Amino acid sequence: MKRPEEIFEEARALIEKAADGAAVEELRIRYLGKKGELTALLRQVGEIAPEERKAFGQLVNKAKSDVEQLITERKKAFEQAGQGLRLKAERIDVTEPGREIPAGARHMITQTIDEIVGIFMSMGYSVTEGPEVETVFYNFDALNASPNHPSRDLSDTFYITEDVLLRTQTSPVQVRTLLAQKPPVKIISPGRCFRTDTPDATHSPMFHQVEGLLVDEGVTMTDLKGTLDAFAKRIFGAGVKTKFRPHFFPFTEPSAEVDVSCFLCGGEDPSCRVCHGSGWIELLGCGMVHPNVLQVADIDTERYTGFAFGLGVERTAMLKHGIDDIRLFYENDVRFIAQFY
Ligand code: DAH
């Protein structure tokens, strides 16, 4: 039979060498468990001479409590070490500078539309939208386009069926609005348009326009000029001048194209990248709403007159920001986009 002190020494050496808490627990079972070595000794007390029993029992109990104490200490040591490691691993440096998350931004086209729309809203216009898939009626017929108007051509327009097409302009919204609400009407309408253009630096088969329409009693060309001049000054700078050149559009009479004086060089620089030395930049089309258009909506053309205008969003953005290729808007190259955050 092993002596309690012997067993204690053995246990002490093993507990010291234990690699982790689980190993210590195994030793606890081995020595102090129900079938543990020290527990077994107590059961063998009957084999001991009666006069030695008491002393033997005391030795065993002492060995047991000593082993127990060693085990408790060792377990605690492992626990503390583990906690230390965890704390170290989970440590947060609250003084570390934050990591920058790249923020998204509105696309240049959206920014430009918002700016244009914002200017007109401040003049009391409300915003309406129309469908991108249109009918020939709204896109051409109701807009007084003659049956042989070149833009109707299959080679210029994306037809879906004979009567349905991708709108080539935002002008059909004029007709939809006039049919839906009675004068006074004062709306602008931004949106996508489509033409069968081959992409190059200034053409894209998909592009954006903003349409404007005002119909009321006593509206004259002066109102149109004042409105668009105010708009040009807001978007390009208070110093710009506007020039109205006679033009033709089927849905306006008279019609005009509006040029703005070059906001970059003021006409001083023959090699100006914006006006190419001419001093003027073509900005938009406009005119007094043709009576035929008003009549589509049964509007009394003796009582009501109106003006309309349409401008290209890409063109406006290109002029404003010195962008020289329309395709840059749609390629979504971050090196381009990030310049306009
Ligand atoms: N829809 C014309 C185009 O796409 C632009 C335009 C010109 C719109 C004159 C108008 C306008 O409302 O009055 O070329």
**What does the pLDDT read at residue 185?**
98
Residue 341 pLDDT greater than 80, yes or no: no
Ligand 1 pocket test: pick from 214, 245, 309, 313 the residue with the most ligand atoms within 8 Å of its Cβ: 309
Among residues 141, 144, 171, the alpha carbon closest in space to that of 308 is found at: 171
- The phi and psi torsions of 295 (rounded to 5 degrees) equal -70, -25
Contact 235, 259 (CB under 8 A): no
Q: What is the pLDDT of residue 141?
A: 96
207 C-alpha to ligand 1 centroid (Å): 14
The whole-angstrom separation of Cα 280 and Cα 313 is: 18
Nearest Cα residue to atom 8 of ligand 1 = 310
Taking CA atoms only, the protein residue closest to ligand 1 atom 6 is 310
CA-nearest residue for atom 2, ligand 1, is: 310
Structure confidence at residue 21 as a pLDDT band (50, 70, 90): confident
Q: Which atom of ligand 1 is nearest to the CA of 193?
A: 4
158-172, 270-284, 295-309: the lowest-pLDDT one: 270-284
- Whether this prediction's pTM lies above 0.85 is answered by no
Instruction: Give, in degrees to the nearest 5, the angle at Cα 282 between 310 and 113.
Output: 45
* Residue 173, pLDDT score: 98
Helices H / strands E in the chain, number of each? 12, 9
**Ligand 1 centroid vs 222 CA: distance in angstroms?**
18
CB atoms inside a 10 Å sphere around CB 133: 11
| 205 band by pLDDT with thresholds 50, 70 and 90 | very high
Residue nearest to atom 3 of ligand 1 (CA): 169
Residue 232 to residue 257: CA distance in whole angstroms: 13
C-beta of residue 210 within 8 angstroms of C-beta of residue 121: no
String of DSSP letters for 24-82? HHHHHHHHHSTT-HHHHHHHGGGGS-HHHHHHHHHHHHHHHHHHHHHHHHHHHHHHHHH
Say if residue 184 is preceded by a cis peptide, omega within 30 of 0: yes
Q: What single letter denotes the amino acid at residue 70? A: L
Please report the atom of ligand 1 found closest to the CA of residue 169: 4
Which of 251, 247, 288 shows the shortest CA–CA distance to 168?
A: 251
Q: Return the ligand 1 atom nearest residue 168 CA.
A: 4
Is the Cβ–Cβ distance between 304 and 216 less than 8 Å? yes
- Per the CB < 8 A criterion, the answer to whether 285 and 309 are in contact is yes
Per DSSP bridges, beta strands 304-312 and 280-289 are antiparallel
Residue list, ligand 1 pocket, CB within 6 Å: 169, 171, 211, 249, 252, 285-287, 308-310
**Beta-bridge partners for 258:** 244, 284
The pLDDT assigned to 208 comes to: 98
Ligand 1 pocket test, pick from 171, 187, 197, 203 with the greatest ligand atom count within 8 Å of Cβ, gives 171
Are 333 and 108 spatial neighbours (Cβ–Cβ below 8 Å)? no
Residue 4: its pLDDT value, please?
86
Report which protein residue has its CA nearest ligand 1's atom 4.
169
Residue 323 gets the label, from left (phi > 0), alpha (psi -120 to 50) or beta, of beta
With a cut of 80, say whether residue 284 has pLDDT above it: yes
The pLDDT tens digits of the residues spanning 183-203 come to 999 999 999 999 999 999 889
pLDDT value for 117: 98
Average pLDDT taken over every residue of the chain = 92
Q: What is the pLDDT of residues 77-132, one digit of tens each?
A: 888 888 888 888 888 888 989 888 887 888 999 999 999 999 999 999 999 999 99
What spacing in Å lies between the alpha carbon of 116 and ligand 1's midpoint?
Answer: 16
Take atom 5 of ligand 1 and give the residue whose Cα is closest: 310
222 vs 225: CA distance, rounded Å: 5
Query: What stretches of 262-314 adopt beta strand conformation (E)?
Result: 280-289, 304-312
> How remote is the CA of residue 309 from the centroid of ligand 1, in Å?
6
Cβ-contact 178, 293 below 8 angstroms = yes
pLDDT in tens, 216-248: 999 999 999 999 999 999 999 999 999 999 999
> What's the confidence (pLDDT) of residue 264?
83
Of 151, 176, 251, 282, the residue with max ligand 1 atoms within 8 A of its CB, to mutate for a pocket test, comes to 251
Q: In the predicted model, is pLDDT for residue 42 greater than 90?
A: no
> Percentage of the chain surpassing pLDDT 70?
100
Ligand 1 pocket: which of 128, 169, 192, 195 to mutate (most atoms within 8 A of CB): 169
| pLDDT score of 147 | 86
